[in-house]
Copies of this chain bind each other. A is one copy, B any other.
Amino acid sequence: MDLSLIREDIDKVDKEIIELFQKRMDLCEEVAKYKLSVGKAILDKGREDSKIEKVQTFVDDESMKVALSDLFRQIMSSSRKLQYKFMEQNSATVRAECEIVDKIETQGAKVCYQGIEGAYSYLAMKRYFGEDVDGYNVPTFDAAMKEVAEGRADFAVLPIENSTAGIVNDTYDLLMKYDNYIVADLVYEIDHALLGLPGAKVSDISKVYSHPQGLMQCSHYLDEHLDWDRIATTNTSLGAKKVLSDGDIHQAAIASREAAKVFGLEVIASEIRNEKNNATRFVIISKKRSFAKDAKTMSICFEIAHEAGSLYGILSHIKYNGLNMTKIQSRPIEGKMWQWRFYVDFEGNVNDAAVLNAMRGIEAESTYLKFLGNY
C-alpha cells in the first residue's frame, strides 16, 4: 500500500478523534463544575484506575493494552489539568503570597557567605552585590542559611553546582532544611591554581589544601602526584591562608588566582583543573518570597509514592502545561534507606497560569512538594 494513501486514512481517523476529544473535554468541564460545587478533589484515583482496567478489556493484544492504558492516562491527565485550570479561575489560588518586584533590591543589603575573604563565594558575592557590599562570613553552609532564616542577613550566597564536579549536595539538602528561597543566580568562572609560598616550586610540595570540590575538580593533576597529602578544608581559601601562616615551603593550596593576591602567595602551577570549561553557579538566598517580575526559572523539590510510574506522572504536569524541564537531580531522603527526593527546575514565572496549573497538579499527586524559588 502506498504511504500517502495510508496517511490519508490516518488523517481521516485523526479528525474523528479530535471531535470526540472535544466532546469529552466539554463533559469534563461539567465534572469540574460539580466537583467545585461540592468541594470534591479533582484526582479520583479509584475512578481513574477502574477506567484504565475497563478500556484494556476492549483489546486482546498486550501491547495494545499498554497503548490504550497510556492513551487514557494522557486523556485523563488532560481532563484533570483542564479541571485544575477551571478551579484556579473560579476559586482561591493555591499560590501562597509572593511579592513581585521589578528587580531584587540589593542596595544596603546585609549579605552572608560561607568561607573567608578571597574564597569563590566571596568573589561571587562581590560580583552580584558590588564591591561595597556589606558582607560577612560564617564557617558552614548551614550557618549561612541560618543567618538568613533568622533574619540576621538579608541574603546568603551559596554554590549550587559546578560544571565539572556536579551538584553541591549540602546546598541542595539545606534548601529542604530551611524555608528560604532562591531569588537569583549567577555563574562564576573557576580558575583553579596551585598556590605556594613565594619561591616554592612544584617539586617542593608534599601537602595540598583545598575544599573537597577543589580537590575533585583537580583530580587528574593530583593523580600525577599521588605522594601528596590531600587535605580537605571547609573552603578553598582557608587552605591558602594556612599555607601562608604555616610558612612551610612543602605546603600548597588549590584556590583562585585572586586568592594568591589576597594572601600574598604565588601561583606555582596554573590551569590545573580537569576541565578547561569550569564554572560554578551560585544562588542568592532570601527569606522573603519576593521575586523579580522577569524571573524565568522555577525550582521545586518533591517526594513521591514508592510505586511504578510515580515520577513519570509528576513530570507529566510540567510537560502538559507546555513548560520545559531544564534539570532533574535526586538526593537521598534522610532516615529513609534508598529513597530519593527530586529537585526539578523548569522554565516559568510564579505568576504564569501554566506554572500555577502545574504546581496544583504536582501538589495533589506528590507526597510532598516544596517551592524553592523563582529567579
- The docked-state distance in angstroms from the alpha carbon of A354 to that of B374 is 40
Q: Contact: A216 with B64, CB < 8 Å?
A: no
The B-contacting residues of A in range 77-135, CB under 8 angstroms, are 78, 81-82, 85
Q: Among the listed stretches A289-297, A317-325, A361-369, which one makes contact with chain B, having 4 or more residues with CB under 8 Å of it?
A: A317-325
The B-contacting residues of A in range 126-164, CB under 8 angstroms, are 139-140, 142, 162-164
User: Within 8 Å CB of A340, what residues of B?
Assistant: 327
A24 at the interface (CB under 8 A from B): yes
> A215-B212, A277-B335 known; A6 and B18 CB under 8 Å?
no
User: Within 8 Å CB of A14, what residues of B?
Assistant: 24, 51, 55, 72
Q: Contact: A319 with B312, CB < 8 Å?
A: yes
> A1-B34, A312-B319 known; A64 and B337 CB under 8 Å?
no
Question: Shortest distance in angstroms between A341's beta carbon and chain B's nearest beta carbon?
Answer: 11
Q: Contact: A68 with B24, CB < 8 Å?
A: no
Q: Contact: A166 with B164, CB < 8 Å?
A: no
The B-contacting residues of A in range 3-35, CB under 8 angstroms, are 3, 6-7, 9-10, 13-18, 20-25, 27-28, 30-31, 34
A305 at the interface (CB under 8 A from B): no
User: Within 8 Å CB of A31, what residues of B?
Assistant: 3, 6-7
The B-contacting residues of A in range 306-350, CB under 8 angstroms, are 308-309, 311-312, 315-316, 318-322, 324-325, 327-332, 334-338, 340
Q: Contact: A18 with B67, CB < 8 Å?
A: no
Contact of A27 among B13, B17, B66, B164 (CB under 8 A): B13
Q: Contact: B338 with A324, CB < 8 Å?
A: no
Question: Shortest distance in angstroms between A18's beta carbon and chain B's nearest beta carbon?
Answer: 5
- The docked-state distance in angstroms from the alpha carbon of A164 to that of B336 is 9
Q: How many residues of A contact B (CB 8 A)?
A: 92
- The docked-state distance in angstroms from the alpha carbon of A234 to that of B234 is 18
A interface with B by C-beta (< 8 Å): 1, 3, 6-7, 9-10, 13-18, 20-25, 27-28, 30-31, 34, 51, 55, 58-59, 63-64, 66-68, 70-72, 74-75, 78, 81-82, 85, 139-140, 142, 162-166, 169, 212, 215-216, 223, 226, 229-234, 274-277, 279, 281, 308-309, 311-312, 315-316, 318-322, 324-325, 327-332, 334-338, 340
Contact of A66 among B276, B322, B328, B330 (CB under 8 A): B322
User: Within 8 Å CB of A67, what residues of B?
Assistant: 21, 25, 78, 81-82, 320
Contact of A85 among B59, B63, B85, B338 (CB under 8 A): B63
Q: Closest 9 interchain pairs by CB? A: A308-B324, A232-B232, A74-B74, A67-B78, A212-B212, A231-B231, A13-B24, A230-B232, A277-B337
Contact of A21 among B68, B231, B327, B337 (CB under 8 A): B68
